[in-house]
Amino acid sequence: MSLPTRRAAAFAPSNIALTKYWGKRDARLNLPLAPSVSVALAELGSLTIVQPDADLAEDVMVVDDQPLDDAGMVKVRRVLDQVRQRSGSRWFAGLRSVNTVPPARGLASSASAFAALATAAAEAYGLALTPAELSALARSGSGSASRSTAGGFALWHKGERDDGSDSFAEQVFAPEHWPLRVLVARVEAGRKAVSSTRGMALADTSAPFFRAWIEQCDRDVPACLDALAHKHMRSLAEVVEGNALAMHATMLAGRPPLVYWQPATVGVIHTVRQLRAEGAECCFTIDAGSSVVVLVEPQDARPVADALAAVDGIEEVIQTRIGAGARLLSSGEA
């Protein structure tokens, strides 16, 4: 049988969770214990090219001009094997990826990486996937990647099925629904010592209130969607900040405890709360890292960004918007 294979390129945005994914019901398929909500970051993400090649004896991937390490290749193969199985092709692929997100610093570069990989690989091997199938494919590489294919304001359904086919994300509001600015206050902490996967497993098995955290996520998701529907920053702040701090509480209460924060992380938390008390429409969230992401109404973006940049230990404040989901690129673009 002759199969359609061709070079394909895709861009996918990173995303930041407003209510977090922190706990798996199936570690192999990256199935979550709770649903989660996110926003896609406009131009921060990954551009990935997939080229199936009959002459290759295995998949090879270069990320930011470096060969991908073994742990990374295991996850990439997990995605490519599914694509090959569905397409009937046996060809391995050469892959090249460029990130515009600093890797492993709490800014979820894996989300954009696996969303771009899934999008480009499906095209390269001639698969016609629904948005839900594409999201689930990206999820199998990295859980949070399921939300990057969807883009905008996305909801990742936790799903019930064992095969994960109902655990995918979809866009619930377009980026234009609430054109918030996104500020990333970068706090340097070196490469993080403990991966998200390991951190979640540690919290699950040793934090005393881990089940309560998952139940809280089940309540936070509808509250977050309601705040987004009404574009109500004060309600959003209560859910988003509470959810991020509760996630970090499970890390702090694990054995051994995980402390991702640096002094500047706490500095930004207090600054955002103070700015809001003074009337600025903003809120913060923190992933498994030391950097802080701040959502802010456009009219307050400038003063809030200036205040964040003045916090001791902030390397830089990256400013972006809420963006669309993953997209294929034409040969002129990549």
**Pair of tokens at residue 177:** 């629904």
Taking CB under 6 A as the criterion, the residue among 23, 52, 143, 175 binding ligand PMV is 143
Least distance CB 196 / ligand PMV (angstroms): 4
Q: In angstroms, give the least distance from the CB of 97 to ligand PMV.
A: 16
196 binds ligand PMV (CB under 6 A): yes
State the minimum distance, in angstroms, from the CB of residue 115 to ligand PMV.
10
User: What are the residues facing 92 on neighbouring strands?
Assistant: 53
Contacts (Cβ under 8 Å, ≥6 apart) of 260: 106, 189, 192, 248, 251, 286, 288, 289, 290
Element spanning 124, H or E: helix 109-124
> Number of C-alpha atoms within 13 angstroms, CB side, residue 194?
19
Residue 53 C-beta: closest distance to ligand PMV, Å: 29
Q: Which one of 106-114, 122-130, 201-209, 326-334 is the stretch in contact with ligand PMV (CB under 6 A)?
A: 106-114
Among 108, 154, 189, 223, which residue interacts with ligand PMV (rule: CB under 6 A)?
A: 108
Nearer to ligand PMV, 97 or 110 (CB): 110
Query: Which pair of structure tokens corresponds to residue 119?
Result: 């999008």
Q: Which of 100, 110, 119, 167 binds ligand PMV (CB under 6 A)?
A: 110
In whole angstroms, what is the distance from residue 190 CA to residue 182 CA? Answer: 23
CA distance between the termini of the chain: 30
Which tokens belong to 76? 């990439």
Please name which of 154, 143, 271, 137 lies closest in space to residue 199, comparing C-alpha atoms: 143
Q: Is the Cβ of residue 113 or residue 301 nearer to ligand PMV in the bound state? A: 113
Closest distance to ligand PMV from the beta carbon of 247 (Å): 7
Question: Residue 107 is encoded by which pair of tokens?
Answer: 């800014």
Q: How many CB atoms lie within 10 A of CB 212?
A: 12
Nearer to ligand PMV, 23 or 267 (CB): 23
Q: Does 46 bind ligand PMV (CB under 6 A)?
A: no
Identify the CA nearest to 95 among candidates 130, 66, 71, 137: 66
287 binds ligand PMV, rule: CB under 6 A: yes
**Which three-class secondary structure state does DSSP give residue 231?**
coil
51: its two tokens: 């080229």
**288: contact with ligand PMV by CB under 6 A:** yes
Cα→Cα distances 41→29, 148, 293, Å = 25, 9, 11
Q: How far is the CB of 27 from ligand PMV (least distance, A)?
A: 10
Binding-site member from 51, 197, 262, 319 for ligand PMV (CB under 6 A): 197
Q: How many residues bind ligand PMV (CB under 6 A)?
A: 15
User: Looking up tokens 């009404």, which residue turns up?
Assistant: 230
Task: Measure the CA–CA gap between 241 and 276, rounded to whole angstroms.
Answer: 12
Neighbours of 54 (CB within 10 A): 9
Residue 106, CB-side half-sphere exposure with 13 Å CA sphere: 25
Q: Considering the complex, state which of residue 49 and residue 221 has its C-beta at the smaller distance from ligand PMV.
A: 221
- Minimum Å gap between C-beta 154 and ligand PMV is 11
What residues between 4 and 43 interact with ligand PMV by CB under 6 A?
17, 20-22, 36
Whose Cβ is closer to ligand PMV: residue 8's or residue 258's? 258
Position among 144, 149, 171, 250 found at the interface with ligand PMV (CB under 6 A): 144
With binding defined as CB under 6 A, does residue 213 bind ligand PMV?
no
Q: Give the C-alpha separation, 284 to 305, whole Å.
A: 12
Considering only the stretches 49-57, 83-91, 107-115, 264-272, report the one whose residues sit in contact with ligand PMV under the rule CB under 6 A.
Answer: 107-115
Footprint on this chain of ligand PMV (rule: CB under 6 A): 17, 20-22, 36, 108, 110-111, 142-144, 196-197, 287-288
